[in-house]
Amino acid sequence: MDHHPLLDHLHPHMPPAEVDSDAATDHTTTVDQLAQAAKLAEAGDVFAARQILGRLNHRLPGTAAPTPLLRSAFYFKEALRLALSPTGDAPTPSASTPYDVVVKLGAYKAFSEVSPVLQFAHLTCVQAVLDELSGAGCIHVLDFDIGMGEQWASLMQELAQRRPATALKVTALVSPASHHPLELQLIHDSLSNFAAELGVPFRFAVFNLDATDLTGLLAVAGGGGEAIAVHLPVGSVHGPAVPSVLHLVRGLGAKLVVSVDRGCDRGDLPFAAHLMQALQSTVFLLESLDAMGTDSDVAAKIERFWVQPKIDECVRAAAAGEKTPPWRATLASAGFVPVQVSSFAEAQAESLLKKLPVRGFRLERRAGSLFLHWQRGELASVAAWRC
């Protein structure tokens, strides 16, 4: 099989002498076989793809694999196996019971504390909203990826200090399959309590993204005098839903769209190339977590409740053929104009990285967007558009 270019980036922070030759060969074989399975699946030869995935069971030791690449490859192998399953198997929801919700919240909190990825995304998105909408009497955020909602707690804090009379509304657009009711209730309670402490007028609502008619959003966001901002990360909507969502966003009169790209949502690529791109992005993320000296139990929890569900979602969407054209071009063609990320947002991100215990994370400003890298690998970027 051909050598896969992913292997060129395996150990960007280690001299060649430190890479064990047997381990490197093992990595090469594993990545090549996974790439071959993806290519066969793309060509429609699902049986042959499943055979290769079966052989990979013996090469990949699972979540305890010693390197970021082998752990990433295991997660993608499992996600691809499920996506190609003839019985329609589906991965277990990441928060299917109240106990799972508590563990997921703990994993999310741990990831936010250990890695700069979420803090970088949240700080930069919040600053974009403040830069564009801070003069509004009421800011209404429509969020297609609410996470744990803590980014809007940061926005509340800024509003309380700079614009104490400004009200905030947050509407989480979620699929019931991805969010347990308890999870949404905890987000609601946490944000409401924090708003009460700060004296910020606040309302929280949930809208079912699986609804066949999204025009119901017009009623949710129909209040007069609201300045609407939309948090629409790359990959939060897929395929044919993208144009209708962007049309709806314009119809709502949104003033701003902020978007986070985690580097693995390349829905415009062919299936196999998309998976290899996403695998590479995941390897960089896990390498950065290892470099931060993350405790193995904490790392395992982060991977189980943060990394793996996103991989499952990415592979499912790709396997279903949910193509998304390049994100920037898609927004431009829908009538959105890019907004330069402010110098203040960049300074905040630089300050965040200076506080980290390891070097290797860096920022790059490109085409008006702000990118976070680990070594040579892109971890996330934030961009904003005006409607």
pLDDT digits (tens, 9 = 90+) for 23-72: 666 688 899 999 999 999 999 999 999 999 999 988 887 777 789 999 99
pLDDT band, residue 9 (cuts 50/70/90): very low
**% of the chain with per-residue pLDDT over 90:** 58
Q: How far apart are CA 158 and CA 130, in angstroms?
A: 8
Q: Which fold has domain 102-264+324-386?
A: Rossmann fold (3.40.50)
Per-residue 3-state assignment (H helix, E strand, C coil) for the chain? CCCCHHHHHCCCCCCHHHCCHHHHHHHHHHHHHHHHHHHHHHHCCHHHHHHHHHHHCCCCCCCCCCCHHHHHHHHHHHHHHHHCCCCCCCCCCCCCCHHHHHHHHHHHHHHHHHCCHHHHHHHHHHHHHHHHHCCCCEEEEEECCCCCCHHHHHHHHHHHHHCCCCEEEEEEEECCCCCCHHHHHHHHHHHHHHHHHHCCCEEEEEEECCCCCHHHHHHHCCCCCEEEEEECCCCCCCCCHHHHHHHHHHHCCCCEEEEEECCCCCCCCCHHHHHHHHHHHHHHHHHHHHHCCCCHHHHHHHHHHHHHHHHHHHHHHHHCCCCCCCHHHHHHHCCCEEECCCHHHHHHHHHHHHCCCCCCEEEEEECCEEEEEECCEEEEEEEEEEC
pLDDT band, residue 18 (cuts 50/70/90): very low
pLDDT at 2: 47
Q: What are phi and psi of 255, to 5 degrees?
A: -85, -25
User: Does the structure show a pLDDT above 80 at 238?
Assistant: no
pLDDT at 214: 67
Q: Which residues pair with 257 in a beta bridge?
A: 230, 385
Q: What is the mean pLDDT of residues 357-380?
A: 94
pLDDT at 21: 58
Nearest C-alpha neighbor of 334 from the set 261, 237, 250, 230: 250
Domain ranges across the chain: 18-90+266-319, 102-264+324-386
pLDDT digits (tens, 9 = 90+) for 326-367: 888 889 999 999 999 999 999 999 999 999 999 999 999 998
Q: What are phi and psi of 174, to 5 degrees?
A: -135, 155
